[in-house]
Amino acid sequence: MPRERADDYDDKTKAILDSAAALFARAGYPNAKMEDIAKACGASKSMLYHYFATKDDILFAMLEEHLASLLKAIEQSFNEVADPQERLRSFIEIYVQQSAHARRRHMVTMNDLRFLPKARQVPLLALERKVISSAAELLNSLNPQLEAFAYKPYALMLIGMLNWTETWYRANGVIKSKELCDRIARLFLRGFLPD
Amino acid sequence: MPRERADDYDDKTKAILDSAAALFARAGYPNAKMEDIAKACGASKSMLYHYFATKDDILFAMLEEHLASLLKAIEQSFNEVADPQERLRSFIEIYVQQSAHARRRHMVTMNDLRFLPKARQVPLLALERKVISSAAELLNSLNPQLEAFAYKPYALMLIGMLNWTETWYRANGVIKSKELCDRIARLFLRGFLPD
DNA sequence: CCTACCGATCGGTAGG
DNA sequence: CCTACCGATCGGTAGG
């Protein structure tokens, strides 16, 4: 009789991904050792290979999970909010008010996706493109007067600004996350000049 | 009689940095092999070690050179242009209209600085902070009415948007670089909404 | 004792 | 689940 899959199989998978995310975010994917991931979640290196066949599989699972949940959060907010300006605010909040958990994964997505083999990047890049399309759609409803080709560049400017925020914004600093969201939304909608 | 330092010592140093920049930008610093850098500039690996004592020294020299020249270009444009709005446009142009040469180095700076030992990051992070301060100063002259602490966050939003541009913008696409600069400057100054 | 290189190889490390 | 270990690789070095 084959042994049953351990009851806490999913818990352990999550624990591995959490430890790995912290290490990848700190040291970068290529510098993070399988040995270190194992130690960080109180497991042996061999144990890791029971859950993930390769190091790349850990990174891939992490990024796919993160991008799918980001996309789901965006779609959900679009369903709940109808007003375009409120939708933008909500889109910004999803990026800025991320938990430390999601923030680490977001950094890893931005920094380390390129270390996967090209073929494994494909489905992840497709998810990223969906996020960009959502933003472009949102911008279209905010200002329908532009030429069609211009929405994606504007979406990329917005998302670039938001992605970069992860590198410098700390929620425990002088600026509360609500205030940062307000400022970003206002900057994007009304610009930087005084009225 | 000691041999003279080769006449083309500086040329070779530049050739090494160019090959390394291309490789680092494509594969990432940790994946780029000294062997590959050597091959790319028609040299032997040992020759590399004559010009740079370690792989980290190559990355450090590249980033320092790039950040110093970025800073110099910014300072020069500030000296040549007095009007704040024109200064912003000029700041944006420095980022967007970079040569392929500088663009690769900029990508490497954004992606691979973290792979240097902490101590070697210090002087480079200081240069980055100067770039941010220049931008904050510029924004202050554009809109002096804000609270003092707000300029740096706005500078980081601008620079984030500009840094991200490197990841998606191709000068040979539908949008000419002049048009992109105009759109970014207008977005930042006037916002996204129609007048 | 210096600089400018080459061919060969060592010591240590990493994923598996 | 552990220790031992492999095949491959890579940054850096030694002799000439």
Q: Whose CA is nearest the C1' atom of nucleotide C14?
A: A33
The whole-model pTM stands at 0.92
- Cα gap A186→A161, rounded to integer Å: 13
Does B145 sit within 8 Å of A160, measured CB to CB?
A: no
pLDDT at B44: 87
Res A3 pLDDT > 70: no
**Alpha helices by DSSP H, B41-168:** 45-51, 55-80, 84-96, 100-112, 118-142, 151-168
Which two three-digit tokens encode residue A182? 């307000």
Q: Which nucleotides of C are covered by protein (CB under 7 A)?
A: 1-8, 14-16
Does A192 sit within 8 Å of B143, measured CB to CB?
A: yes
pLDDT tens digits, one per residue of B82-119: 999 999 999 999 999 888 789 999 999 999 999 999 99
Candidates A111, A94, A12; CA nearest to A59 is A111
Answer whether B133 touches A (CB < 8 Å). Answer: no
DSSP A148: G
Q: What are phi and psi of A39, to 5 degrees?
A: -55, -45
Mean pLDDT of chain B: 91
- Cα gap B89→B78, rounded to integer Å: 11
Residue A5 burial (C-beta neighbours within 10 Å; 0-12, 13-18, 19+): exposed
Which two three-digit tokens encode residue A92? 């910004």
Residues in chain B closer than 8 A to A160 (CB atoms): 160-165, 167-168
Residues in chain A closer than 8 A to B191 (CB atoms): 187-192
pLDDT tens digits, one per residue of A76-121: 999 999 999 999 999 999 999 888 789 999 999 999 999 999 899 9
Res A6 pLDDT > 60: no
Answer whether B107 touches A (CB < 8 Å). Answer: no
- Cα gap B192→B75, rounded to integer Å: 29
- Cα gap B195→B185, rounded to integer Å: 16
Res A136 pLDDT > 70: yes
* pLDDT-based confidence at residue A2 (cuts at 50, 70, 90): very low
- Cα gap A156→B26, rounded to integer Å: 21
Q: What are phi and psi of A124, to 5 degrees?
A: -75, -40
Q: Which residue of A has its CA nearest to B149?
A: A174
Does A163 sit within 8 Å of B160, measured CB to CB?
A: yes
Answer whether A153 touches B (CB < 8 Å). Answer: yes
